[in-house]
Amino acid sequence: MDFPLNSLGLTHAFLAARVRPGDFCIDATAGNGHDTAFLCSLVGDTGRVLAFDIQPQAVENTNALLAQLGYAAIGKAIQCSHDRLAEYAAPGTVDAICFNFGWLPGGDHSIFTTPATSLPAIDAALTALRPGGALSLCLYYGGRSGYAERDAILAHLEQLDNRRYTVMVTRFANRTGDVPIPVFIVKEN
């Protein structure tokens, strides 16, 4: 697979390196379903992907994309906030989880992810991952969503126990503007 050297491409490359056929994955921010579909392509017919979004439009778009691509038996989006992830995945049972923060592309820009639910959702995701499991975060910021979520998440990640989690935050040194930040986390034990 070829991955562009941008934030989304890097998170996809990270997920592709770690997800195997038959895995159980979660897309915590379904949006238009591109990441959910990508995870479905990695886990294949024997795997499962569950996607969360609070907006009915996003759930509809994601499930329509999955049906169009022939992934309806593998993946499913539900209307639910990602901080309720523990209700859908027992501790230590998920192989990989991705978050793509911000607003629904092509949708209402006044509805976006916020730290009040993002931080508990990240913690719930870390609990749900199996040892060796992978978590990718693509931090969009700026515009109407501002910088509070980015700053709160980055501060939160610095507090994670380094014996349990390897956390990598990537920065594009010479790109200008509000370039999304890819974050890669592996649960070590």
Positions in the binding site for ligand SAM (CB under 6 A): 29, 31-35, 52-55, 58, 81-82, 100, 102-105, 111-113, 117, 140
**Please, which residue, 109 or 175, has the CB nearer to ligand SAM?**
109
CB of 118 to ligand SAM, least distance (A): 7
**Please, which residue, 79 or 170, has the CB nearer to ligand SAM?**
79
**CB-closest chain residue to ligand SAM:** 31
CB of 27 to ligand SAM, least distance (A): 6
For residue 92, give Cα distances in angstroms to 39, 77, 86, 126: 19, 21, 11, 9
Round to whole Å and give the CA distance between 178 and 4. Answer: 18
Nearest Cα to Cα of residue 166 among 136, 128, 141, 138: 136
**Please, which residue, 120 or 161, has the CB nearer to ligand SAM?**
120
**Please, which residue, 106 or 132, has the CB nearer to ligand SAM?**
106
CB of 26 to ligand SAM, least distance (A): 11
In the block, residue with structure tokens 């770690």? 18
CB of 56 to ligand SAM, least distance (A): 10
CB of 13 to ligand SAM, least distance (A): 16
**Please, which residue, 63 or 113, has the CB nearer to ligand SAM?**
113
Question: Residues 150, 122: contact at Cβ < 8 Å?
Answer: no
Q: Helix, strand, or coil here: 68?
A: helix
Nearest Cα to Cα of residue 37 among 46, 24, 52, 27: 27
User: Burial of 184 by CB count in 10 Å (0-12 exposed, 13-18 middle, 19+ buried)?
Assistant: buried
